[in-house]
Amino acid sequence: MAGFQSLSIAFLVCVIVSNHMVVDAMTSKNMALFWGNSQSKIEGDDLQLVLDQSSGSGAKSKRYFLFGSFEAQIKFVPGDSAGLPIYIDYTEFFWCLFFILKFLQLSSEGSNHDEVDFEFLGNATGEPYTIHTNIFVQGVGDREQQFRPWFDPAADFHNYTIHWNPNAVVWYIDSIPIRIFRNYENAPKQKTAFPNKQGMRLYTSLWNAQDWATQGGRVKTNWASAPFTASFRRFRPRACPWNGEVSISQCASNSPTNWWTSPIHAQLSASQSTKLREIREKYMIYDYCLDPTRRPNGVLPPEC
């Protein structure tokens, strides 16, 4: 892997929900730049975020959603990327990839927001990246799981997807599930909150997070390698647009329009479950459920 030192990129995704599925062909129809480097751009189906010593950059979806599938093809920052996260955030639901690069996040707004993170953490040259995932529900997070990628995320584009329905949130890379957060809201013993009442927007940002992103901040951003560029294409929200509280029931209803509520999406298939288990056995390097320092009283979080 070419040198990765100090670089932090964030890709945020937030979505709002309505009662119609949204499928826009072009990234330019779905996303808009909202801060940062003037070199960043959206052209047709391509999005380019740029970071230099003066500024990072970010884009966000034009709509909010509740439930559905959110995917993008992303090519990480080549070269020395330590300290850079790519972050994708869905306001009300986050899907983020931090690398020192945060690139996918769904999130809602306010102190009781929901958030789904899909992140890449960059590293010094020759060192492996870290795939970082997290989920917040009603403002409560600390549900981190981390993985080593089984591919070079800077060599080519890969597909990153967050599938979100009333039953679960599932993180995918190239159609392979790597994590699932199930809805135990009504479970008698595992009762825990689930993101199903707030619309989300998708945000993506590339920014300097050298104080924490790479090896806990020990490896700093190498500005000699700047500007850093992350490339995105084909952002696809196949989701229910958010139209206020009425969407809570509309987007969760069992109807042909709401394809995400169909039985086939209620749980992973046998082959998907096998792939999920294999990825977690081979490549997972941290799980909050297995960290004794996160449960000093010895009690596991209910979803674990």
Give the active site residues: 115, 119
Q: How many Cα atoms are found within 13 Å in the side-chain-facing hemisphere of 99?
A: 38
Amino acid at site 38: S
Between CA 95 and CA 140 the distance in angstroms is 15
Q: In the structure encoding, which two tokens stand for residue 102, read together?
A: 């945060």
Return d(Cα 193, Cα 114) in angstroms, integer. Answer: 10
Q: Which residues contact 108 (CB under 8 A, 6 or more apart)?
A: 14, 90, 91, 92, 93, 114, 115, 198, 199, 200, 201
Query: Partners of 13 in the beta sheet?
Result: 202
Other C-beta atoms closer than 10 Å to the C-beta of 154 total 22
| Distance of alpha carbon 51 from alpha carbon 207, whole angstroms | 6
Tokens of 151: 């591919």
